[in-house]
Homo-oligomer: A and B are copies of this chain.
Amino acid sequence: MTPAAQAALGQAQTVLGYRLYLEQAAPFVGPQAELRPSGMTAETRRAEEALELAMAGRRAALVSGGDPGVYAMAGAVFETAAARGLALGNGPGQLEVRIVTGTPALTAGAALLGAPLTHDFCAVSLSDRLTDWELIRRRLDLAAQAGFVIVVHNPKSRGRDWQLAEAADILLRHLPPQTPVGLAKRCGRSGESAEIIELKDLAQADVDMQTTIFVGNSTTFVYGGRLITPRGYAAKYGPDGRGAKKG
Give me the interface of A with B, judged by CB distance under 8 Å. 1-3, 43-45, 47-48, 67-72, 74-84, 86-89, 97, 99-104, 107-108, 110-112, 114-125, 130-132, 135-136, 138-139, 142-143, 145-148, 221, 223-226, 228-234, 236-237, 239-242, 247
Please give the count of copies of this chain that the complex contains: 2
Cβ contacts under 8 Å, A233 to chain B: 43-44, 75-76, 79-80, 130
- 4 smallest CB-CB distances across A and B, nearest first, come from A75-B118, A44-B241, A88-B224, A122-B122
The answer to whether B2 touches A89, judged by C-beta atoms less than 8 angstroms apart, is no
A80 contacts B247, CB within 8 Å? Answer: no
Q: Which B residues touch A45, using CB under 8 A?
A: 241-242
**Chain B: minimal CB distance from A158 (Å):** 18
Query: What would 6 more interface pairs be, CB under 8 Å, given A44-B241, A78-B228, A121-B122?
Result: A69-B116, A70-B110, A75-B229, A79-B233, A80-B233, A84-B239
Is A100's CB under 8 angstroms from B111's CB? yes
Q: Which of B117, B130, B236 contacts A70 (CB 8 A)?
A: B117
- Among A69, A76, A123, which residue has the most Cβ atoms of chain B within 10 A? A69
Residues of B within 8 A of A242 (CB): 44-45
Residues from chain B with Cβ under 8 Å of A2 in the complex: 1-2, 103
**Contact between chains at B142 and A114 (CB < 8 Å):** no
Q: Are B225 and A89 in contact (CB under 8 A)?
A: yes
Distance between Cα atoms of A131 and B87 in the complex (Å): 44
Quick check: B75 and A231 within 8 Å, CB to CB?
Answer: yes
